[in-house]
Structure formats: structure tokens, C-alpha cells
Structure 1
Amino acid sequence: MSADLAQALLDAARKAGADAADALVIDGTALSIDVRQGRLEHAERAESKDIGLRVLIGQRQACVSSSDTSPATLAAMAERAVAMAREAPEDPFAGLADPAMLSARRDAEGLELCDPTAEPAPAALEDDARRAEAAALAIAGVSQVDQASASYSRRSVFLAATNGFAGGYTRSSRHVSCVAITGEGTGMERDWASEGRIFQADLPDAETIGRQAGERAARRKGSRKPPSGVFPVLYDERVSSSLIGHLTGAINGTTIARGSGWLRDALGKPVLPAGFDLIEDPLRIRATGTRPFDAEGLPTQRRVWVKDGVLQGWVLDLATARKLGMQSTANASRGPTAPPSPSLSNLDLTQGARSREELLRDMGTGLLVTSLIGSTINPTTGDYSRGASGFWVENGAIAYPVNECTIAGNLRDMLMRITAANDARPHLSTRVPSLLVEGLTLAGA
């Protein structure tokens, strides 16, 4: 059905006068259940089919989208897109892939992206949420649960283009999450736990997730501001990937093609300490970021973005690669409403030899960050400032919980001073362990 619909969009585009076109069909089902105080608070089921069409006339392009798949709508979409493209400014870098570049893989066979078992019943999701809430409330010090949730989704994507590409795949996901609160009034503190997997059988039980949320919240009771000064900061594994996210954002081809970004002059230079690699594997089995081909039909493959600390390349789609005089790295992604843009899939940062507890012991006095709030990042200079909460560490041991503090530094300097733990969770798409960063400025009490 999706293949036929995509082909119908392409036929309509050709009939309307497009020189070239690609079509995206997304068919999805999502079910979510929220529980609070032992009662069902919210239940939602959504079934959707979204279609997107990009047409090209010479070097001009336009995108249109709809959720109506009737033949009349397809024809109207194509006509509107062609009319828009004729009025659009020329883009010398727009265009489909050469057929010789296209991926031979047209599906996700063998990658285990979709659980073949039946969709869970709403009652089963509600039971998961109730059990998570009850487990959190059973923890001493937890005053209430803000929300316990369980959800399921299944999403099919099909891409077709006039250059001959046609392929698609389906992915599924199951999630359970819980947010617990300790204390009352202005002394309330919260923390959370959440787990998601592609396969229901891989998901931890709801009690484990709820208990973890409760224990985390209870440890935050009595939080206060830490001292101000320059201290080492240990980013817990739950938040450490944000640091690497700033790095990958700075090497995105869209940023580099504009001539901006705090790493715009860093190609072939150290951006991490020696010994660190940052590797992308878009073909990892049972990983949520896996994609058998990119949004322009190019074959995805394993790439080393940082090798022994040195930056190896930019993250590119076809347009940014053409603008920079390079080859696409097959990192295009897109939705139905816009043309492709570069993005990354599954990432692995080199892990260290020591545990998080060993890094805590060795850091002496400083801050363990378990939550980040807000973000002020200068995209040109890499100057960094974020609100944070977590735990104050003295003599290598956690002393007390902290809140309402700010961490400041410069990302280029910070990333060159990281030490990695060995605690990255293996099931995550982005696997980054806890990271110790020396010499950051804290603004607290």
C-alpha cells in the first residue's frame, strides 16, 4: 500500500510538470497510557498516515505534505508543489542522488527493528503504569508520583524517487517511565526513570523502573546549592551524551556549509583527548537509531567521526556535500514537510577502564550532575552554560544532593579534558559513559 501510494505521488508529480521528485509515506500507530494516584489519567491512541512530496524543476525545489491520500489530493499536492517550485529561488545544490549511488538494500531485513508480536492491549499498558507507580510509592521518602506512563508505537516508512529508488521498513518501540517526587511544598524534588526497547521482551519490568525512579527521587531530599568556584564535574551517564551531542551538532554539514560553528576549523585536528574514538554504526541490530538507507536512498555504513581524538569529517547529506565540494556521508534524514538534512544515527564513544564510582573517588571534591536544565550554548564560540542538579562530592564520596547551580565553560576546552567511565548502557542508540570534566566553573551558593 505505501509503495503504491509513493508511486502514485511520483506519477502525479511527473504529470504536473516536475523534472524529478521523491515521495515519503509514513504510516504510524501510537498508544499511550498515563496513571496518577492509582487511577487512569490519560489514554490516547493515534493512527496516522502522512505523505510528503518534494519536486524539483531544474535547480528549484518545493515540499508539500498531507494526511489525505485520496487521488484528488495527490493530484492537487503535485500541482501545488510544482507551482511553488517554479516560484522558489534556485538552489545550485538541490537534487536527487545519481542512480549509481543508490543503496542496494531496500529494507531492514536482519536488523530487528520491529517486534513481530501483537500490539499490547491498553489494559496491559495500564497495568505496567500502575505497577511502576506503586513501586515508586513504596520507596521511603517518596511523597507522590507525578506521573507513570506506558506506551507503544509502530511506524512504517517508505521512500521512493524518480531516480529509481524505492524502499521502506518498519520500527516499533515500547516504553515505561515514572516521575517520583520527594518532600512537600517548596522543598519538593523530583527524579525519574525511563526505559524503552524495540522488543517488548527486552523491556525491564515495570516495578524495576518505578523503584529506580523512587530511589532516585528519595536521594534528592534536602537538596541545596553547592559552593561556587572551579571544580571537577562528573556528568552521569544519563546526561553525558549531551556533551557529545554538542560536538556532533558542531560538525553537522548544515552548520559547516554556513561557515559557522565552533568546530568549523577543526577538521583533521584534535577535538577529544588522544585515545578517544567516536563511531557511528547505522546498521546496529536492535538499535533505535538504525537505518538501512538514508533519506536520499544512499547506503548507510559504519564511520569513524573521531579517531584517536582527531576529527575525521563532517556529517553530510547530498546538498551540504555539494556545497562543500565533498561526497555525501549518507546521513540524510527527513520528514514529510521538508527536504533532507544531515543527522547521525547510532553512536559509540570510547569507554574508559574505571567505573563511575572510581571516578567519583578520584575526583575528590566536585559535582556529580544527574540532571541538566536549560541551555545557553554560543554556536560560534562554544561557550557553555547550563543549569544543573545532582550531588556534591567531598573526599571522593557523595556528601549531599544539590540543586539550582550553573555550570560554565567552553566546549572546545571541556571536551579536551574529559575522562570516561565504563558504564554506557549497551541497548541505547547513543552509548556514552559517564564523563569527568576537570576545571569547570560552578555558580551555586
Structure 2
Amino acid sequence: MTDTLERLTESLLRAARQAGADAADAMAVEGQSVSIDIRAGKLEQAERAEGLELGLRVLVGQRQACVSVSDRSDRTITEMAERAVAMAREAPEDPYAGLAASDQLIRNWDIAALELADPAADPDAAQLEADAREAESGAMTRAGITQVEASASHARRQVHLAASNGFAGGYARTSRSVSAVAFTGNGTGMERDWAAEGRIHSADLPEASGVGALAAERALARAGARRPRTGSFPVLYDERIASSLIGHLLSAVNGATVARGSGWLRDALGQQVLPAGFTVIEDPLRPRVSGSRPFDAEGLATARRLIVADGVLQGWTLDLATARKLGMSSTASAARGTSSPPSPATSNIDLTPGGQSRADLIAAMGTGLLVTGLIGSTINPNTGDYSRGASGFWVEGGEIAYPVNECTIAGNLRQMLLRITAADDARAHLSTRVPSLLVEGMTLAGA
């Protein structure tokens, strides 16, 4: 497969040159996936997908265009290149568009060290159905669970990227997952919750029955949920959803946002954005982790970097175009699909963990809200004003008192992030490792 994808990208570049492109890069992606869904004890869906995608970006002077197809024939590739060049000639000039210089490109990498593809044989549909049924069984063994929806899937994907500046490289990825959604009660009293696990290597995946049992435990804990009080209270974001807070920070320091002159952290470079002692690290080179990659979508070598150090914002997340616009250097953060040009994106994020457990933070918060689920959002990207629907558990006297739903939590992200306290419960295998986070002084709208 690798050789085939490499030949396809070479054909795309050759066709682009013949069509009149000054420069070009090409991407070929091929993958297969199988997914199984079980609902109420019955097989609801079994799906297998296979596909090839080809993407071509051409530059004519400072004008660029992208075209994608799913046909590998020579005729289609020729027509694709001609169409892309014609589109580029009609596109507006972009003074910041362009490929990497040859001295910016990665020269050597050790893809085997990242362990991104499972060498074991891919599981068949019967094995995945067994996973889903095991997850379902693990949930249904708990009294009070009325229904379970369980799923299992596996995917193998290979990508190859080449450019007229001389870069060429590719790698494969695999993933296997199992999940369950458990229901308790009925009618207006119905509650649900979920659990899921995913790994690159099948051997690392936990037992499916445990996933189902955890989903059931979480759903049963939600029985009898009601609206909480209204007022100003501390809010503890459970580890399952705490990464969304850091995600808002990462979006605000994305080079595409900053280059537009927008974002609520656009003037915060070198300023305190988290409490002292907190560090946000991006490390795309962690082995056996889904977000790892040896090079970015422009052929630059990825590396571990500090985004926030001791609470102070260190830099933006940049690809080549945004770096040129801001007068900086790329952070090798380019990502892209087959139908679009590169844009900045992060992978494998770590937030400094705290020295307390989630239970310790619950005890310390006194009276407030433990949030385990978020729905909807109203986030002002320019001011950081924050409002989200939430569900979880009301805490009284440092102990969980009862489940809650139908409430809204609100604040301003700039102030919220300066008031966080972290637990120590981030899961080691995740690409984004953020522990439970306690935020003081948020506004709750409930009963």
C-alpha cells in the first residue's frame, strides 16, 4: 500500500507541473474500517468502509487552489491537476502561501519508534461484535439498567504526502475502540451515561465488560436528577470533560485566529494565562498515542514544545502561512485534509497535574457543582465570555449529595483559567491529558 500511495503522489505532482503549476503538494490517503452497533440486545448495524482519497494543492505565483478526488485513474489525475491550476489562476493572491524551503524540511525520522500501527492482524466483524456484546453484557448485569447501546470498531489508515520542494513521507495508523451507553428509568425520568475506551494497539484495549459496567454505574448514579441552586459556586470539571477548558485556550492561541487579529488571548503573549506552576506542553512524539506524528502536513519535523510555562503564554500554534503573516517561525503544527490547504493544529497536549485526587477537590470545594457532562455552548471568541449547559452532581459539605441536570454554568475564560486547581487523575494513554479541574466563583443558573 505504501508504494502505491507514493506512486500516486508522484503522479499528482507530475501532472501539476505539466498543467503549469509553479509548485504543488499532494496527499494520498487510503483506509479501511469496520464498526458494529448493538442496541437492545440486537445487531443494529454492521458497517465496513474502504476508500482512497487524493488531494492536490497547486500554487501559481502567490495564488493557490486545492482539489480532491477518489479515483486513481491517469485521466482523472490529469484532469484534476488541470482543474486545480485553472482555479488557482482565478484565485486571489495570498502573499503568505507557499511551500517550505528545502532547509526547513525534515530529513530523517523513526516511524517505528512511534508505534502508530498495530502489527497484529485486524479483527474481523465477528470479533468486534463480540466486543460490543461483552460491553452490553457488562452493563446489563447491573440492576436498574433498562437498555444498552454498545459499539465496537477498528480502523487502519495510511497517508502519504509529497511536495515539489522534495519532501516525501508517509505512515500508517490503526485504532480499536469499544463504547457503551446505558439507560436507566423511563419516560421523563430516564437518565443515561456512557463509557468508552480506544487504543492504537488491540492488546492495550481494556476488557469490554468493564466499559459496559462503568457506563451502567454512571447511568445509575444519575437517577433522580434535578436542577441545582442558582448562584455563584465553585465548579469541578470531571476529567472526562476538563480538556474542553484547555481546548478553548488552545483555540485562542491558534495562529489562524491570531493572524486575523481576533481571539480573547490575541494580546496575551508573555502574559499570565494560567496560575503559576501550570504548564501546557505539546509533544507529537509520544509513542503509541493517537495524536503522534513525525512531521507535520508541510514536511517539517515535529518536536516537543511549551505553549504555557509556569502559567505564562509562550507562543502561538503556527503553520508556515500564519507564521509568515505574524513574522515568526512555524511551530511545525500544520494539519490538513485532502481538500484544503494546511492550517495550524495541536496534538498530544499535557497540562500539569495537581497533587490531589478528584475526591480531595470535592471535599475542598464545600458546596458547588461537579460537572460530568456539557451540552451546547455560547462562547464569544473575542471576549472569552463562556456559557454552557451542564449536568453532573451537586456537592454539599464536601460530599456528593444528588445528581443534577438542566443547569447553565457561565463565566469568562480569561478569569476562569486563572482560578483553576488541578487533580491528579489524567489518563496516561490519552492524546490530550488534562485532569479534573476545579474553577472557583462560576455563575450557576438552575432552579
What range is the shorter-chain TM-score in?
over 0.9
Counterpart position of 2:69: 66
The one-letter amino acid of 2:67's match is V
Cα deviation per residue 1:269-314 (whole Å; 9 max; x = unaligned)? 0000000000010000011100100000000000010000000000
Counterpart position of 2:154: 152
The 3-state SS of whatever aligns with 1:104 is coil
2-structure distance, mates of 1:53, 1:4: 14
2-structure distance, mates of 1:431, 1:139: 30
TM-fit CA distance, 1:138? 1.2
2-structure distance, mates of 1:256, 1:36: 45
Counterpart position of 1:288: 290
Aligned-pair identity (%): 69
- Kept in 2: contact 1:107–1:167 (CA 8 A): no
Give 5+ residue unaligned stretches, structure 2. Answer: none
Q: What's the RMSD between the two structures over aligned residues?
A: 0.6
1-structure distance, mates of 2:92, 2:142: 61
2-structure distance, mates of 1:62, 1:107: 32
1-structure distance, mates of 2:277, 2:157: 38
TM-fit CA distance, 1:396? 0.5
Q: Which of 279, 302, 322 in structure 2 is aligned with 1:320?
A: 322
Counterpart position of 1:90: 93
The 3-state SS of whatever aligns with 1:274 is coil
- Kept in 2: contact 1:152–1:175 (CA 8 A): yes
Counterpart position of 2:432: 430
Counterpart position of 1:332: 334
Map 1:160-199 → 2, pairs under 5 A:
160-199=162-201
2-structure distance, mates of 1:157, 1:228: 50
TM-fit CA distance, 1:37? 1.8
TM-fit CA distance, 1:375? 0.9
- Matching of residue 120 in structure 1 with residue 123 in structure 2: yes
1-structure distance, mates of 2:147, 2:113: 43
The one-letter amino acid of 2:20's match is G
- Kept in 2: contact 1:371–1:388 (CA 8 A): yes
Map 1:45-444 → 2, pairs under 5 A:
45-105=48-108, 108-145=111-148, 147-444=149-446
2-structure distance, mates of 1:413, 1:65: 43
TM-fit CA distance, 1:39? 1.4
- Kept in 2: contact 1:375–1:386 (CA 8 A): yes
1-structure distance, mates of 2:48, 2:31: 11
Counterpart position of 2:35: 32
1-structure distance, mates of 2:362, 2:351: 20
Counterpart position of 1:41: 44
2-structure distance, mates of 1:141, 1:227: 28
1-structure distance, mates of 2:74, 2:131: 42
The one-letter amino acid of 1:333's match is A
The one-letter amino acid of 1:217's match is A
- Kept in 2: contact 1:106–1:167 (CA 8 A): no
TM-fit CA distance, 1:420? 0.2
TM-fit CA distance, 1:36? 1.2
Counterpart position of 2:21: 18
The 3-state SS of whatever aligns with 1:431 is coil
TM-fit CA distance, 1:105? 3.1
4+ residue runs of structure 1 moved beyond 6 angstroms?
A: none
Cα deviation per residue 1:212-243 (whole Å; 9 max; x = unaligned)? 00000000000000000000000000000000
1-structure distance, mates of 2:54, 2:376: 34
1-structure distance, mates of 2:183, 2:222: 9
The 3-state SS of whatever aligns with 1:430 is coil
- Kept in 2: contact 1:26–1:156 (CA 8 A): yes
The 3-state SS of whatever aligns with 1:79 is helix
Cα deviation per residue 1:44-87 (whole Å; 9 max; x = unaligned)? 00000100000000000000000001000000000000000000
TM-fit CA distance, 1:109? 2.1
2-structure distance, mates of 1:339, 1:400: 49
Give 5+ residue unaligned stretches, structure 1. Answer: none
Counterpart position of 1:3: 6
Cα deviation per residue 1:314-359 (whole Å; 9 max; x = unaligned)? 0000000000010000000000000000000101000000000000
2-structure distance, mates of 1:106, 1:335: 22
The 3-state SS of whatever aligns with 1:389 is strand
TM-fit CA distance, 1:107? 6.0
Normalised by the size of structure 2, how large is the TM-score? Answer: 0.99
Aligned length: 444
TM-fit CA distance, 1:141? 1.9
TM-fit CA distance, 1:106? 5.2
- Kept in 2: contact 1:105–1:293 (CA 8 A): no
- Kept in 2: contact 1:106–1:166 (CA 8 A): no
- Kept in 2: contact 1:105–1:292 (CA 8 A): no
The 3-state SS of whatever aligns with 2:111 is coil
